[in-house]
Each structure stands twice: as C-alpha cells, then as structure tokens.
Structure 1
C-alpha cells in the first residue's frame, strides 16, 4: 500500500505527523436582508477595514464577506478561530442583516449591473471591474470553503534525510510532497463533490431565462455552471503549473495569474514566477460547498476527512508525471458528471467510490488512527450506499417551489440569534490596528486556551 515515501514515514515512526497538517480556513458568505436579497447595507464599520483586515475581508461583491483564520495545528483549533471570527462578523451586522448559509447566492436582481462590486484597493477594484466586464457575472457570486494545508516540517525532514538521492535539497522534497497531495485532491475531486456537494439549485436571476439545469443537482457550484473561468491547470509539476497559468495570462484566457481559481492552488514564493525556485509553502483546496448545517459553513468531521485524504496521498503511490494530465482531464469529466447527477440518485461512480472508501479504511486501520476517524469513515460510507443521506439530497426536503430561500433564511436567523447571545464575541477589529496571528490568538481566547492556541498558530497563510 505504501509508496517509497510512505514506507520511510512508516519505518521512522512519524506516521502520526502525516495527519498533523497545519490548517487555515477561509469561509465566504453573503450578507443578505431578511427577504433573501443581497444586503444594501455598507460594510460593517466595527470589524475594521475590509481591504486591510486579514481576518475579515471582502471578496467579489461588497456584500460577500470572508472569514479567515490563522493556520492552526488541529482542525478543532482552526474551527475555534473560525467561530470567534465569524461571530464577530455577525455581531457587527446591521439590524435585519443575516449571513446566507448556502454556496449558491441569494436572489439576484434582474439587472446585475446594480450589484456593487467589492471596494478594496485601487488595483483589485480595477481587476474586479475587468472581470465583471469579461465574464458571466453570476459565476462570480457562489461562495465556498477554502482550506489551506501545510505539512508538518518533521515529515519533510524525514523524507529528505532518508531519500537524499531523490531530492537535490529539502525544498525540492517539500515541493514534491505538495505536488503529489495536489494531484490526489484534483484526481478525487469528484469524490468530495459526491460526499459534500450542497448546492442543488440556484435562486432567482442567477441564470438567464431557459439556461441552467431543469432539475436539482448535487453541486451547481462544482459544475461548469459554478464559480470561475474554467481554465484548467497543469499539476504534473510546479513548473508546469506556473507555465500553464502564465501562458493563459499571456494569451488573454486569464486577466492575470491572480485569476486562476483551480480546485487546488499552490502557494509560496515571492511571486508565482519564482515559486518553482523558491518552493511551495502550502496548498489551497477550493472544492467544498458551504455546509448549511453549520453556522460557519464547515464541520470538524469534514476537516478530519480532508486531512486523512492528504495523509493518504502523501504515503501511497503517486501518479507518474507523464500520466497526470490525462488522469486529471478524466477526473474533471467525472466531477462534472457527479456534480450534475440528481441528488437522490445512485452515482454513476458508486462502485469506484465504494472501492476508494474501502482503501481509505484499510489505510486508517494500518495507521491506527483514532475512533473519531472511524466514525467519520462510517458516516461517509453510508452516504455512498444511500444517496438520500448526502447534503444535497437532504436539502431537497426543504425546497419550496424550487427555492431554498425559506430554509436558508430560517437557518440564517437561527445562527444570527445564537451569535448575538454568545458571551464570547470578539470586538477587537478596527481600521487602525491590523492584528498579527499571535495578537489575534491572544485577544480571541480565554487565558487557559491562549497559551495552547498561540503555540499552534503560524503566520497567516493567505
């Protein structure tokens, strides 16, 4: 089961470290009014400058907020940050404002030119205006969960020290590990779409008349109807990844390298061009819909599963470089098919999903992971066998006249009320002070949690 890298990790008894990925979270959510339209209220004044505050920012629209955590050593710590930051945002909303809990946007106006783009820096403002001019405006409005993963340095050290003949230096070993993790997530994106897809329908005016699917699907956001320019990346190597994006910008397929919004992005180096020489510091995963059953859009079990997948990709045989593009192209096609399947239907790829889940269970048993991982795997195995238990299928029960607005508003109000009743709301953001990760940790948590979280906090990976 193990690759050469996996055997080195196993033999050196650092298996536990392969699941100790540092994790940072970015959660996009729209501000809406109580009728389910984008909010017309100004950006909340009490949470700092949306163009400068690294922890609460604006995305494509002025009403699209993003809660960003520092990197933390455990999924639970990352969620602790997220809940406090998200509650701070909720406490700053104007009366009548709510956070939309779904990935697909709320009701949009027929004239989308009336929707206000995010006001940030002059450079980004110009980029957003150009993007809106060139692209389908609606495709910029879906929200999602972004997960930043960075390797435990001990794992990189062990791999490099034991396989020096394979790598010229430690940075090359680290970049290789990130490359095979990225390839794994792109290859099995369809699997995550099946398990966690939660965007079955679009609301009013997202599609033009007679466009879009005629029935609910697993994930509009993860299909070609969803976010992005649909520009395919090259994951065969970091150099190939950079070359592909730069060529796309040169040919005008991308406005700039910043516009590449693939399901996985490499992060590191002082610029994209220099990344192959300076190395990859972490990867950003962008393939999860918001989970409306959580006030912050993601659950701890989902994050545990993502970390398990990352460990599996590190320790098991990787694709041959020559096969990567062909496999990824096939995986993209599979993801499109899974995304557009009816939520309660057995997936075309159920047999393959079942086989892959079995392999993950064997892997988890071999690594002697804790019972919490076994529970996660059992729950997800049930989703494979019973499509009606998937998030998208569960949302169908709340459809009224083809819309999820009543359900979404009820959820949003419930989450808002709970946040306002919380005794642990951080109100320390202002336009004058930009908090570092350590300062944020010190102000967010009680003294008994401060020390632990401050130690696990790394520099922000954004």
Structure 2
C-alpha cells in the first residue's frame, strides 16, 4: 500500500520537468454552506423559507437542505477562492439585510430544537419534482429521525483546471479516452482523500460538544458521552462529533460496499443500493393511507442518501439521476463534505482554510492512489471515527498501512507532502498565501489547543456556558457584525432579481400539467 510521503510525486515531477506546473493553478472552487435559521430566543425557526429570499426549489444560490429552517447558501465556482468567499459574504449580508427577527446558527450541531417534531421538513411546492424532494426528506425522517438531518456543514466543491487534463493524459501515455482518464484520476483523488481526510476533522472540526436535547429521540446514545453541564454532553478530546457515529455516520449504511476504484464500479454499486429492498424500510411502507412516507423501501432512496466524506460529481440536467449523469459524462468535480462550520467565523470558513483544502485535494490528485480493499475501507473509517471522537488526545495513534502511527507524525507527513504543491499555487505571489495557510495548520498539529474544537471547549469552560448558549452568543455576534453594514446597491439588486426570477420559475413549473406522481417516480427511476 502506498501512502503519502514528502517526496515529489511522479505527476508533479513531470509537470515541473516540462514547465507545466502553472496548469495546477486556477481550479474552480465553490462553497455550499448550511445554517439553521433560529429566532433570537435561540429556538429553530418555525417560519417558512422567507419569500424575500426566493424559491428554495429554483434559486441557484439560496435554497434549503433537509429542513424548511436549514438554509443552504451556494456560491458559483470561482478560480480565486477569494471571489467564492466574497460571494458567500454578500449572500449572508443579503440575508441579514432582509430578516430582522432571525439569525443563522454558526454551529454545525443543532441547538434550540425540542425533538423531531420541532424540525419542519422542507417544502418545495406542488410540482412533481418539488413533491419528490419533500417525500425524500420524509423518508429520511422515518429512517434516521429529523434531528440528525438538522446538522449543518460546509461542502467544498473543487474542479481540477481543465487545461491540466490533456497534459496529464499525454505525459502518462494513457490508453483511455481523455474523459475516461479524467474520471479515473478524480477517483484516485477521492481514494487518497479517504485515506487522509481525517486531517480535516483534526484541523477544522468544530463540534466537540452537543446539546442533550439532540438525543431526545435517541436517549440511549447519551451514555457514551461525558456531561459538561445539565444541558451539554461532550468528549474532552473530540474534534467533530458531526462526523462521528451520532452525526453523519449511518449504521444502516455500514455494510454498503460502494466501489471507489472506478467510475463504472461506483455507478454500479451505488445503483445496486438504490434498487435493493431493505427489510426495515419495507416495514415503514412506501405509500400508507394514500400518503408517501418515502420514495421507496430500498437501502437508499436516491444517491444523495449515501453519506460520504467526498463525492465525485457531474452537473445534472433537470430531472436527471446523478449516477446517470456520471455514467454519461464522467466526473466534472468533487464535493468534499467533512467540513464543520467555523463557529468563530461569520460565514463559517476563512481564506486560509479554503486554500489549505484546495492544496490538499490537488496533492491527493498528484499522489499514487492504489485501489481500496474492504480492509482499507474499514481502516479509513476507523481512523476517521477515532479523530472525530478523540482527535486531540495526547499520543493518539492511527492505522497507516496496518502499522500504528502517531496522529501528529502522520499529519506532519501530509503537510510536508503538500509543500511543493503550495509552492506552485503561490506562483509569483509575494504573500505566498498557500504556503502561509500550510504553516498555520502546522501550528495546530504542534499545539492541539489552537484548534477550533479545543477553543470552543475552553470558551465554554471560561464563560461557564452550556454549548447552546455559547453557540448562540457567537451567532448573535456574527449577526451584529452584519447589522453594522449593508450590501451595496448592485449586489442587492442582483440578489433581489434572482429571488423574483426563482419565484416566477416555480410558479411557471407548477402551472404546467403534472403527470400522476406515481408515474413521475416510475419515469425517474427507470432512466437508463
């Protein structure tokens, strides 16, 4: 098994030898940021998705995730991540300019909830596609409970610079077509990230504590935690409980063997899960008393139900299955999904973090990436869970190639492997933003107390506040920052127009004659 070393990869060696290294620069970066809308009293908003923000069904930038109250803010992809972050700040400002009585929760783990019934499921209107999205979420409720679905995070979308692919294809004398080569290279990136993606949880995890009311529908899970106070549970060395077994991990999916060794294997294994009945879900029923409880009773209703830290993606056409888009047109970009909201940042992510992630993903592309076995998958998963629950524990060891290694030693190796990539990405920039971002993360490896997870627990201890109140206070600080400024007229007009257009598009969609919903689902799932 080949793992990261601090030696240059063959791919990067050849790029440097032929003076093509500049082609690594300028890959597109997009950010998707989820946040719970909460009232100033700290409780989850019971109001519908605000009309002033547009239609959650058709708006390209402002939508909802699981809940009507779980807003999702999406940036277009930009070559410079500064532009992605500027756009994210602008859409936050637009939100705060138009909503006086609500704020966005800055923490990933939900606060201000009172059991599943307090979390309103997202509504997308009366069209068949809108109804399908709503029924899918009903299915998630019956399968996993609503509370787990109210967890928020950031998805970092990245596409490798298009001009790089023909050069890599040529220098490796690949017998594959350019599209096939590109997809297989993306899968190599994905496999490498699965091996070392735990470093994201260590460096940027920001969910070491959790409200007791998170477990109202699953009280049996509380015993595994220590009590911080009457309202808060925690692990003293946790980094990201969001990415632990009580968060985005699903025991229902533990035995799924999704194949990441090729595009065809991935599509085939994911499709199999979508088409394989699951006895526990059959007991729920699909249509009960004339109402849909879920889209189907299979292991997965649709592709999005599969929880993974990173996904290969293709831009889908209206009503197209994601697996079909991949099968037809290959991989277009990847979606990295393991990033917690940064409670100390008004938009949940900063520039240094984004630059580090870009460099890490590129390093994953450039390094050798052997196929993953079932044993490798179990090791990767165990490493991730260990870091999520105990990542800052002194002397914590992980499994690297069936050998135990200190987390700090392995993390340092990974950062050393990223140095040449960061140097290339910095180009002639005298500020060296990528190398600077890398150096900042090295400090967190040397001193775990500097991580966001440690700072949250320290802040709770010093203020003697439960997690919910600490998170609410930070969120209110962010809201106050936005209240001190206003979005400029040009961007305000842009977002206002986008909202109007999206509402008109939903109205137009719903005015069209709809085929029976049963027939719509049959057509959707029969796509070949």
- Root-mean-square deviation over aligned CA pairs: 2.3
2:213 alignment partner, one of 178, 199, 205: 205
1:302 alignment partner, one of 353, 373, 386: 353
- Cα distance per residue 1:6-45 (max 9 Å; x no partner): 3332233222321421011100000011222101233222
| Distance in 1, Cα, partners of 2:162 & 2:302 | 32
1:317 matches 2:368: yes
CA contact (8 A) 1:108 1:204 kept: no
Deviation at 1:155, TM superposition (A): 0.3
2:342 corresponds to which residue? 291
- Cα distance per residue 1:270-299 (max 9 Å; x no partner): 541352342111111101000111111111
Task: Flag the 1:367–1:274 CA change in 2: closer, same or farther, 3 A.
Answer: closer
Instruction: List runs of 5+ in structure 1 lacking aligned partners.
Output: 436-462
CA contact (8 A) 1:118 1:125 kept: yes
2:175 corresponds to which residue? 167
1:268 matches 2:277: no
1:384 matches 2:392: no
Deviation at 1:179, TM superposition (A): 1.2
2:152 corresponds to which residue? 143
1:455 corresponds to which residue? none
Deviation at 1:162, TM superposition (A): 3.0
| Distance in 1, Cα, partners of 2:354 & 2:369 | 22
The TM-score, its normalising length taken from structure 1, stands at 0.87
2:29 alignment partner, one of 23, 27, 42: 23
| Distance in 2, Cα, partners of 1:34 & 1:345 | 39
2:436 alignment partner, one of 372, 375, 378: 375
Task: Flag the 1:330–1:86 CA change in 2: closer, same or farther, 3 A.
Answer: same
2:305 corresponds to which residue? 259
1:429 corresponds to which residue? 496
Deviation at 1:314, TM superposition (A): 2.1
| Distance in 2, Cα, partners of 1:188 & 1:346 | 18
1:176 matches 2:244: no
| Distance in 2, Cα, partners of 1:255 & 1:228 | 17
1:356 corresponds to which residue? 414
Task: Flag the 1:423–1:274 CA change in 2: closer, same or farther, 3 A.
Answer: closer
Instruction: List runs of 5+ in structure 2 lacking aligned partners.
Output: 1-6, 125-129, 227-233, 277-297, 398-406, 504-528
CA contact (8 A) 2:209 2:457 kept: no
CA contact (8 A) 2:169 2:178 kept: yes
Query: Once structures 1 and 2 are overlaid, which stretch shifts more, 17-26 or 419-428?
Result: 419-428
| Distance in 2, Cα, partners of 1:175 & 1:181 | 10
1:106 matches 2:111: yes
Tell me, what secondary structure is at the counterpart of 2:169?
helix
1:189 alignment partner, one of 197, 210, 213: 197
Deviation at 1:86, TM superposition (A): 1.6
Query: Once structures 1 and 2 are overlaid, which stretch shifts more, 225-234 or 348-357?
Result: 225-234
Deviation at 1:353, TM superposition (A): 1.5
| Distance in 2, Cα, partners of 1:104 & 1:393 | 16
CA contact (8 A) 1:50 1:57 kept: yes
1:34 matches 2:40: yes
| Distance in 2, Cα, partners of 1:347 & 1:379 | 21
Task: Flag the 1:137–1:361 CA change in 2: closer, same or farther, 3 A.
Answer: same
CA contact (8 A) 2:8 2:420 kept: no
The TM-score, its normalising length taken from structure 2, stands at 0.76
1:443 corresponds to which residue? none
Tell me, what secondary structure is at the counterpart of 1:148?
strand
CA contact (8 A) 1:191 1:353 kept: yes
| Distance in 1, Cα, partners of 2:84 & 2:161 | 16
CA contact (8 A) 1:143 1:289 kept: yes
